[in-house]
Structure 1
Amino acid sequence: MNFATFDLNLLRVLDALLCEGSTVKAAKRLGLSQPAVSGSLSRLRYAMGDPLFVRQGNRLVATEYAAGLRVPLREELDRIEALLSPPTLIDPKTAVGTFRIAGVDFFAEMLIPPLADLLQKEAPGVRVQLVDLVPQDHVASLERRKADIALLPDMPLPDWVSRKELFRSAFHVIARKGNPEIAGLTPGETMPLEVFCCLHHVLFSPEGHTAAMGDAALAEVGRQRHVAITVPVFSGVCRAVRESDLIALVPAQLAADMARSFELQVFLPPMPIDPALIVGIWHKRADKAPLAMWIREQIFRLTSRLDPAFAD
């Protein structure tokens, strides 16, 4: 068979003949004339090099070769029909499936709790898994972590990736309330540059880097800081600050949330730091996947609450 010149419409005729065992009934099923179906059968026989059907009384009986095509052909036609069909709405209450989110543990604190509550109430059959981003190559999380969405700072993306801006996050300084080095400072005010640079820092870095956006911002004003510890999770950063006289730069939303439960004080940084734009990315092949579309919309809505500029 020369597949390049093969008329794929003939596969619909073959499927109908396999189901009906009659050119007349197949024609009715397809909305064609009986001669048209007979002509298509002749073309199929020629192209596939097999009789495909033999007449037995009033019925067409499939050959062994054609009978072996019945199930896989129907499955392929169903798959193509689903592929070309517009996305359908799902009923979250009856939906079943697993959705994997790749992101740092910031999202374990700021996204997963409200998402878990929402899913329990509206989509109890849906399971969500939060997994780590692939170090050094966050976009690879979509393939190597089999993530349905990755939440990460904005960056150049390949053409096969879809993208949605979620929120911007400024950076604030956290310190424990009993830290003697911040005595006399008022929470919410700007931490003096001298204090910020003299104190030792905890740095969030899954890869173990000893410099980040804060260091680049300090370099702009001709200063530097001392990073004493790097930690791969934000929760570890906050715990280290709570139990020591170290300080840390963390996303403003996390600082506000952790200040309550970890008894931390929050200050503005002494140098300008551009807020990080956080985006959600996913493979374009899932653009119209109904369940993925629904969960992505819930994630978009919940994360937009982290930044008034992105809220509805």
Structure 2
Amino acid sequence: MREQALFDKIDLHLIRVLHTVLTDRSVSRAAIRLGMYQPAVSAALKRLRDLAGDPLLVRSGTGMVPTDAGLRMIEPAAAILRSAEMLFSDARGFDPQTATSTFRIAASDYLDPLFLPLLMAQIKSLAPLARIEIHPLTSDSDYHAHLSLGQVDVVIGNWQKPPEDLHMARLLDDDLVSLVNRDHPATRRGWDAETWLAVDHIAPTPLHPGARGIIDQMLDEMGLRRNISARCAHFGLIPDMVASSLLVLTTGRQYCERFTERLPVKILECPIALPRLVYYQLWHERTHSSASARWLRERIKAVAASLRPPTGESDTKT
């Protein structure tokens, strides 16, 4: 009976306050995001603390951090909010012009740098009331868990062997090339496989310790290894580093082409025949039949096609 009495005191608004306060780690920032006055958020937090029998958010230095109990509530709260959003939006049918859905996209920054800006523009033009969150794929990104818990709706990236336990659709194919400074010796002399392997390469920081990037996985299968002398976690800054050094960046042609007019760089063909990069969007079974999620996936597909039409049929797991 006591549990039922506690449950009766909880409403969806209170869950939203809980999730926002715990993720923002600030009552004032949560108030701004929720469009509420700060005293109202503080009052809701007091109610939540009374219900939980735990402070949930405590001071640490100059900021605030969730307690252990608070941390355990973040994922269930996110799942409840996402499920409620899907429950009512899909029951009514999805109308982009009036939808207030939140679209959560996790994306690799190896993508064409125009991709996410164009996607953002298209979503906001067709669904002006929708909210959009772009999440990075970083070393602590467990995208399987994030998809299953509803923390993200779609993951976009490239994998040599995409995971088989998620739905997926092919977006783009691209060939691998090297980006170098215009004054790099290879622009005059050319290079063979041995020279290319020995030059100073720059590569993204691995997603987790010991991980091998997709290009190095390809080279491993050929029994080859390149000389990576620099790594950077911010992929978007690497072309500028190449432009001011003798470092070599090897990635998709489409990405490299965006920098050849802005920076003193040149695209060179790789002397080793590497497989093409394939970019996919991945999603979980939980959103497979959602009208709003299907709409989002169609927008992603349309933007990818507008940048460069796919070379093959869309390969979707059902």
Q: Larger deviation: 130-139 or 259-268? A: 130-139
Task: Give the CA deviation at 1:133.
Answer: 2.4
**Pair 1:171 & 2:173 matched:** no
Pair 1:149-2:172 in alignment: no
Structure of greater Rg: 1
Superposed CA deviations along residues 214-249 of structure 1, whole A, max 9, x for unmatched, are 345445666532111111232132222122111111
TM-score (norm 1): 0.62
Residues 169 and 145 (structure 1), Cα distance of their counterparts in 2 relative to 1, 3 Å cut:
farther
Residue in structure 1 matched with residue 205 of structure 2 by the alignment: 205
Q: How does 1:125-164 map to 2 (within 5 A)?
A: 125-133=129-137, 135=139, 137-143=142-148, 146-152=151-157, 153=159, 154-158=161-165, 161-164=166-169
Query: 1:91 aligns to what SS in structure 2?
Result: coil
Aligned counterparts of 1:192 and 1:240: Cα–Cα separation in 2: 23
Output the amino acid matched with 2:192: P
- Could you state the TM-score of these two structures normalised by the residue count of structure 2? 0.61
Shift, 1:173, TM fit: 0.3
Q: Does 1:296 align with 2:297?
A: yes
1:112 is the counterpart of 2:116: yes
CA contact (8 A) 1:206 1:231 kept: no
In structure 2, how many angstroms separate the alpha carbons of the residues matched to 1:145 and 1:139?
10
Overall identity of the aligned pairs, in %: 21
Q: Deviations over 1:122-177 (max 9, x none)?
A: 2221222211225374423314681110113242332xx32212222321100011
* Residue 281 (structure 2) pairs with residue 280 (structure 1): yes
- Matched ranges for 1:223-262 at <5 A: 223-262=224-263
Distance 1:262 1:130 in 2: 27
1:102 equivalent among 96, 106, 117: 106
How many angstroms does 1:86 deviate by?
8.0
**2:271 corresponding residue in structure 1:** 270
Q: How many residues align?
A: 226
1: CA distance, partners of 2:90 / 2:103: 21
Structure 2, unaligned runs of 5 or more: 1-82
CA separation in 1, counterparts of 2:197 and 2:249? 11
Report if aligned partners of 2:90, 2:292 keep a CA contact under 8 Å in 1: no
CA deviation map 1:269-309 (0-9, x unaligned): 11111123222111222122222221210101112343441
Residue in 2 that maps onto 1:123: 127
Structure 1 contact 103–133 (Cα < 8 Å) conserved: yes
Check conservation: 1:202, 1:228, Cα contact below 8 A: yes
Residues 38-81 of structure 1 show CA distances to partners (whole Å, capped at 9, x for unaligned) of xxxxxxxxxxxxxxxxxxxxxxxxxxxxxxxxxxxxxxxxx99x
Tell me the SS of whatever aligns to 1:225.
Answer: coil
Contact 2:108 2:137 in 1 (8 A): yes
Alignment-derived partner of residue 4 in structure 1: none
Tell me the amino acid that sits aligned with residue 93 of structure 1.
Q
Q: CA deviation at 1:206?
A: 3.8
Q: How many angstroms does 1:211 deviate by?
A: 4.8
In the superposition, relative to structure 1, how do residues 123 and 216 fare at CA in structure 2: closer, same or farther (>3 Å)?
A: closer
Is residue 309 from structure 1 mapped to residue 314 from structure 2 by the alignment?
Answer: no
CA spacing shift, 1:221–1:130, aligned 2, 3 Å:
same
**For residue 256 of structure 1, what is the amino acid of its counterpart?**
E
> Root-mean-square deviation (CA), in Å?
3.3
SS at match of 1:224: coil
